[in-house]
Structure 1
C-alpha cells in the first residue's frame, strides 16, 4: 500500500512532495494508518490532535495515546483541548458542527503560525460514500453528490481512493495500534446509522458496491465540471460587475431554458440558501430582496443585483467640524478654502462658508428630504424626485449621502448642490468641498 499511495500522490496530488505536512490524528484506525504511511514514505510531518472532551476519560486516553506515540517515534506533535459542548451551546451549533469548526480553525492557525503547507486528513472511500448518502437522503443538487473533494483549499485527503477494509487490513499487517471511539458504535448520529445499517445492505446486493460507487462519483464529478464550465460561459453573457456589485440582466436570464440552475451555480458561493425565494425574485416586484449572512440579492427593474450587506446603519450620522480639512468615513471628502469661484460639478462644489452652521452632518437620505437644487430658479424639490430624474437604481439610492448644515441640505453628494449655499459676487469666504 505504501507504493500504491506514493503513486497516487505522484499522479493526483504531486504538490505534496517535499512539503511540510500537518496530519490530523485522532488516534483511530484511519488516522493512525495515515500517520504510519506518511512516516514510511519519509514525508516531513507533524501531528495535530484535538481533545474535544466529549467522551470523558476516553478523550484524555486518546490524547495520552497520541502523545506517547509521537514521543516514541520522534514525530512533532501539537495538542489542544476544547470545551466543545460549551462552544456548541454558545453559538447554537450541533456538537458535530461545533467540533468541525473548532478543529479546522485550529488547524489553520497552526498552518500559518508553524509554516505548514497542507493539512492532511484520513477520509477514505467509505467516508465518501457515507457523505454521498447523507446528502442524497437530505435532498441535494449535483454538487452534493460529487462526494468529498481530494483538496479543499489547504486541506488534502490522500486516502480517498482506499476503502475502510483496505485500511483495516494494512493496520493488521503492520501491527498498527489504534484507539476505538465508543461513539462510533452508537446510532445517535445519521452517519453511523448509514454506516451500520444501510451500507451493509448495499454491499450485500453488490459485493463490489464501493468500486461501483467510486466510478459513479467520477462520472458525477466530470458532469459537475461541465456544469461549472457552462455556467462560467453563460455568466459572461448575462452578468456584468460594477465595483462590489454583480448585475444579472433579467431579459437575458429569462431566455435561458434552465435559468434557476444557472442562478444556483452563480449565487451559492455567496451563502444564499432560500432558493425558492430567489427564484421567485425573477418575477417579483422591484425592491424585493433576499438576504444571506453577508450578501443580499435585490430585484431592481430589469436586473437582479448581488451586493454586500452594508455595515453602516441608515440612521448613522458623521460630523464635520469647522477646521476639518478631510473626511475619510463614510466617504472621502477634501475641504479647503478657495480664492476663485469655479463651476460646480458632480464631484466638486463651492459654497459660501459664512452661510454654514457647524458641525456639518453627513447622513443617508431620508424619505421626505427636500432641497433647492442649484440652477433650478429657487424651486424646492424632493430628493426622491431627483433620484427618479437621475434614474438611479435602488442600490445607488442607498449609497447616496447628504451633507447638511443644521436642518438644511448643502449637497446631495455627487449629484447636486443646494442653491441656498451658492457663492455670489459678494461672497467673502469660499469653501471648496470635493468628493475624492
Structure 2
C-alpha cells in the first residue's frame, strides 16, 4: 500500500489547481508588477495565464539562447501568446559560451536579465515536481540539510507561485483552458543527470507512492522551516556572533551540535561570500583545531580557511585578495563587483529610504554610476544628519568589520558618494515617495544551485 493510501488525508489541504495555488501563495498580487520568465513550455505558459487571471500587472521575458533548432519557433510562440493575452514581452537573444555548464550559465543569464528588467518581482514556473527533482538531485550530490530544503517560494525578488502543484496538474489546467505549449526535446535526453532523476528515479518512486512529489515537497518545506528556526537561534545576540566574524571555542561547545554547525556555517559564509558546507566531521575538526595551542588553520572547500587563534575561531578567504577595480554601472543594469552583484532598476519610490535597497531620485543621477571601494578621506551626507561624515566614522558607528570595509561597494554619482551598500544612503540623492527612482541592491554572489532545469 502506498504512503498516500495509508495516510489518505496527508495532502487533502494541498491545492490541486494552479490558479488556487498561485493565489494562495501570496506571490501574485493584483495591480502589482510581475515579470514572468516565459520559455514557452507548459509550466511557464500556465504561470503567465494564472498571473493575468489574478490581475497582476504582468510582463514577460523570453530568452532565446539559439541552442535548439526550433528556438525561433519558441520565440514566435511566446510573441503570439503574449499578443493574445495583452502582455508586454521582452525578448533577449544571447550567445552562451561553448564550454562549461550550459544550463547553469543559461540560468545565470536569465536571472540577470530578469533583475535588469523587472519593475518588481519576477516569477519562475517551478512546480512541486521540479522541487522533488531538485531535492533528489541534491540529496545524491550535496550532503547536509540545506540540500533537502529545496527551492524556496521567494529568494530576493525571484518568486515561485506554482511550487505547490505538480507538473501533471499544470498540464490538466492547460488542457482545460485550451492553452497550447512548446515541448523541449532536451528534457527527455538522459545524458543529463537531472533528466535521469526525472524519468528514472522519480518514476520508480511513483510506483511506491503516486503522491511522491507532494511528499518530497512537504518534507522540503519542513526542513526549510526547521533550518530557518536553527539559523535564527544561531543569530541570537546572546551567542555574541549574530553579526560578528569570530566565535570563542568554549562558547561554541556549549551549544547543541546543530547550532554549532549553523554558527560555523554563518561565519564561513560571511568570510567567503557564498555558502560553505560545514558537516559534522568539519565541525569536529574545527573544534579540535581550536583546542590546540597557538594559531592553526584548516583549509575548507571553496578557498576558505578556518583559523583558530588561542581558542577563538574565525574564517578567511585566500590571503592577498586585491580590491576590485572601479566599474561603471549603467541605469538600469548590473555589474559583478568582487563578491557582490550590484544592480540598478527603475521604479517609483514607495516609502522611506532604506539602506538595504535605497531608492535614489532619477532626476538627480547621471546616466551611469561608479561602483568602487572605500578610500581614506571619503565623506557622505547621511540621510537626516544635516551635514557630512567620513566613511571611517560611518563604518565605526555601524560596527562594520574592518575586513568587510575594504570590499563593500561604494556607489558614486558624478563624483559624490550616493550609497554605501547596506550601511548608509546620501540625503542628496534619496528619492521622496512617489518620485521616479533608481533602486539599488548589492547581494553577495551565490553558489547554491537553487534552481531547476526546464522552465
Q: How does 1:242-391 map to 2 (within 5 A)?
A: 246-258=245-257, 259-268=260-269, 270-271=273-274, 273=276, 275=278, 280-284=285-289, 286=295, 288=297, 290=299, 297-306=306-315, 311-312=321-322, 331-332=376-377
1:179 aligns with 2:182: yes
Shift of 1:172: 1.2
**SS of residue paired to 1:85:** coil
Aligned-residue Cα RMSD (Å) equals 3.3
Q: Which runs of 5+ in 2 are unaligned?
A: 1-13, 324-372, 379-401, 407-455
**SS of residue paired to 2:97:** helix
Between the aligned partners of 2:54 and 2:202, the Cα distance in structure 1 is: 32
Between the aligned partners of 2:65 and 2:28, the Cα distance in structure 1 is: 31
Shift of 1:237: 1.7
1:30 alignment partner, one of 43, 52, 56: 43
Between the aligned partners of 1:141 and 1:61, the Cα distance in structure 2 is: 42
Between the aligned partners of 1:81 and 1:253, the Cα distance in structure 2 is: 51
Kindly name which structure, 1 or 2, has the bigger radius of gyration based on alpha carbons: 1
Q: How does 1:26-425 map to 2 (within 5 A)?
A: 26-55=39-68, 57-86=69-98, 89=99, 93-111=100-118, 116-233=119-236, 236-239=238-241, 246-258=245-257, 259-268=260-269, 270-271=273-274, 273=276, 275=278, 280-284=285-289, 286=295, 288=297, 290=299, 297-306=306-315, 311-312=321-322, 331-332=376-377
TM-score of the superposed pair, with normalisation by structure 1:
0.62
Superposed CA offset, 1:145-179 (max 9, x none): 12211001000100111111111111111221111
Superposed CA offset, 1:255-277 (max 9, x none): 33423353125434642537466
Between the aligned partners of 2:219 and 2:158, the Cα distance in structure 1 is: 24
Work out whether residues 21 and 162 of structure 2, in 8 Å CA contact, stay in contact via their aligned partners in 1.
no
Shift of 1:208: 2.5
Between the aligned partners of 1:330 and 1:46, the Cα distance in structure 2 is: 41
Between the aligned partners of 2:178 and 2:240, the Cα distance in structure 1 is: 59
The structure whose RCO (Cα within 8 Å, separation 6+) is larger is 2
Q: 1:329 to 1:166 in 2, by over 3 A?
A: closer
**SS of residue paired to 1:119:** strand
Between the aligned partners of 1:120 and 1:179, the Cα distance in structure 2 is: 19
Between the aligned partners of 2:143 and 2:52, the Cα distance in structure 1 is: 38
Alignment-derived partner of residue 336 in structure 2: none
Q: 1:15 to 1:236 in 2, by over 3 A?
A: farther
TM-score of the superposed pair, with normalisation by structure 2:
0.60
Between the aligned partners of 2:275 and 2:48, the Cα distance in structure 1 is: 38
Work out whether residues 46 and 75 of structure 1, in 8 Å CA contact, stay in contact via their aligned partners in 2.
yes
Shift of 1:5: 4.9
Shift of 1:95: 1.0
Q: Which runs of 5+ in 1 are unaligned?
A: 314-327, 334-394, 400-436
**SS of residue paired to 1:207:** coil
Between the aligned partners of 1:222 and 1:39, the Cα distance in structure 2 is: 30
In proportion to residue count, which structure has more helix?
1
Between the aligned partners of 2:375 and 2:301, the Cα distance in structure 1 is: 23
Work out whether residues 135 and 216 of structure 2, in 8 Å CA contact, stay in contact via their aligned partners in 1.
no
Work out whether residues 28 and 56 of structure 2, in 8 Å CA contact, stay in contact via their aligned partners in 1.
no
**SS of residue paired to 2:58:** strand
Work out whether residues 271 and 292 of structure 1, in 8 Å CA contact, stay in contact via their aligned partners in 2.
no
Between the aligned partners of 1:299 and 1:182, the Cα distance in structure 2 is: 52
